[in-house]
Amino acid sequence: MDKHLFILRQKIKNKQLKIAVVGLGYVGFPLALEFAKKKVEVAGIEIDADRLKSIAQGKSYISDISSQELKAILASGYFKASGNFEDIASADVVLICVPTPLKGKNLPDISFIRSAVNQVAEHLKTGALVILESTTYPGTTEEEILPIFQNHGYKHGRDFFLCFSPERIDPGNKKFPVHKIPKVIGGLTPIATKLAMAVYQIIIKRVVPVSSARAAETVKLLENTFRLINIGLIDELAMMAHEMKIDIWEVVEAAATKPFGFMPFYPGPGVGGHCIPKDPLYLHWKAKSFGFHSRFIELASRVIDYMPEYIVKRVKVALKNRKRALAGAKILVLGVTYKKNIKDLRKSPSIDVISSLKRQGAKVFYADPLIPFLKVKDLDLKSVHLTGQRIKEFDCCLVATDHAQINYAVLLENAKFIFDARNAYKGNHTEKVERL
């Protein structure tokens, strides 16, 4: 292995390595292009035909990557995409960036990881470095991935190296693009960790080594469990504050002036996206195998899961106070993506709000500048064009996702009543606006 190790180190040092990125989603795609920008040869491997077609046409399907940027990188020749796993055979480094969803309510599903790793093992070049980026429970790299390679006849430290490095991409966050986010790295051995550090240092200024892959896996889960629990806390406090006739938004903003010991979190209709609703449950599940029950994670998840129903309950009471029943009322939901200014519907709480409103007999419409058609679950709707005249038709306009492109002044001028679940209206509009 010494010969292969020397060759790999030299290739990394001279940026003469070839990288294969398995999975060109919100994690793998930006990562692949970042390496290509540094003139590293990258092969992107993707099984989704629509994504491959978009790339071939120079059309980006990721909000953080412009089509212009994609075309420039394709023209450079340093990035190509295909559905062919045989491209791994020439790769010195393989990054695995595939989804890790939940089965049902809270069971981890690492079938995508297993499938990808089996394909990688079929074609892996001797001496290559494999890095998993997909968020997963502690022990996955060592207990699930390593045995797959071993079953294919590979010995760690002799034939290949294995690491875990959690993705930290925050879609839509222009302040922290890929190259500005510190990278945590944990290998199965110190040599594996150092190799991965050298690879990521090509594109990222700061890399943070930890003692093991298991520690690195837990880092990601800690980050998102921290957020889940604090969001659950502020959601509960928002409900409590409403009963006590206290403005939770005012309280949070005032508390945020403390320069130490406090970090502001804000309430909303729930939590969506790829990480926060799921990642803590991976940790919760794994802890159970050690006989440990995580009450904080379970409680925070329950509180957050209740928020769409709570929003509907508040809307129902507000309409009743205005002599209007929810059943039969025309409700316009503004914003259906899980996060403002992001074209992503994954686990969006707005969808749950719409479904709940429909179950209770409301006539539901939506307006979202990023989602012209909404075809998810049992919904098949078209976005409403927001004109003053159209807004006047609705009994309630519910701000569920506060996109910057929504004209809130026009909405306020023409709406009969606005329920603001995102604090889009920070001023005093008590006659027309009720905030969460």
With contact defined as beta carbons under 8 Å apart, do 102 and 126 qualify?
A: no
Nearest 5°: phi and psi at 386? -80, 100
With contact defined as beta carbons under 8 Å apart, do 346 and 278 qualify?
A: no
pTM: 0.92
With contact defined as beta carbons under 8 Å apart, do 253 and 106 qualify?
A: no
pLDDT for res 103: 86
For the chain, domain boundaries: 2-211, 235-435
Residue type, 405: Q
pLDDT for res 64: 86
Number of alpha carbons in the 13 Å side-chain half-sphere of residue 430: 2
- The CATH architecture that domain 235-435 belongs to is 3-Layer(aba) Sandwich (3.40)
d(CA 92, CA 27): 20
154-199 confidence digits (pLDDT tens): 999 999 999 999 999 888 888 898 999 999 999 999 999 999 999 9
pLDDT at 68 over 60: yes
Q: Tokens 């990642």 sit at which residue?
A: 279
Q: Is 97 a catalytic residue?
A: no
d(CA 169, CA 179): 10
d(CA 238, CA 268): 9
192-218 confidence digits (pLDDT tens): 999 999 999 999 989 999 999 999 999
- Kindly report the average pLDDT of the chain as a whole number: 94
pLDDT for res 104: 76
> Of 163, 275, 396, 397, which residue is the catalytic one?
275
Neighbour count for residue 73 (Cβ, 10 Å): 19
| Closest CA relative to residue 28, chosen from 49, 46, 50, 52 | 46
pLDDT at 428 over 80: no
| Closest CA relative to residue 44, chosen from 8, 100, 102, 85 | 85
d(CA 144, CA 84): 24
CA angle 69, 75, 77 (to 5 degrees): 115
Confidence of residue 7 (pLDDT cuts 50, 70, 90): confident
Would you state the structure tokens that stand for residue 31, as one six-digit string? 């990562």
User: 2-211, what's its fold?
Assistant: Rossmann fold (3.40.50)
In terms of DSSP bridges, do strands 102-103 and 107-108 run parallel, antiparallel, or are they unpaired? antiparallel
d(CA 115, CA 113): 5
Instruction: For residue 260, count CB atoms less than 10 angstroms from its CB and return exposed for 0-12, middle for 13-18, buried for 19 or more.
Output: exposed
DSSP per-residue codes, 369-398? TT-SEE-STT--EEPPP--HHHHTT-SEEE
d(CA 163, CA 131): 5
Is there a shared CATH topology between the 2-211 domain and the 235-435 domain? yes
pLDDT at 269 over 80: yes
pLDDT for res 173: 84
With contact defined as beta carbons under 8 Å apart, do 60 and 82 qualify?
A: no
pLDDT at 246 over 90: yes
Percentage of residues in the chain having pLDDT higher than 90: 87
Q: Tokens 């920008």 sit at which residue?
A: 37
Distances in Å between the alpha carbon of 171 and those of 108, 157, 176, 177? 23, 35, 9, 9
89-123 confidence digits (pLDDT tens): 999 999 999 999 988 777 899 999 999 999 999 99
d(CA 1, CA 143): 23
CA angle 110, 113, 118 (to 5 degrees): 130
pLDDT for res 1: 57
pLDDT at 389 over 70: yes
β partners of residue 21: 44, 95
DSSP per-residue codes, 301-341? HHHHHHHHHHHHHHHHHHHHHTT--STT-EEEEE--SSSTT
pLDDT at 86 over 60: yes
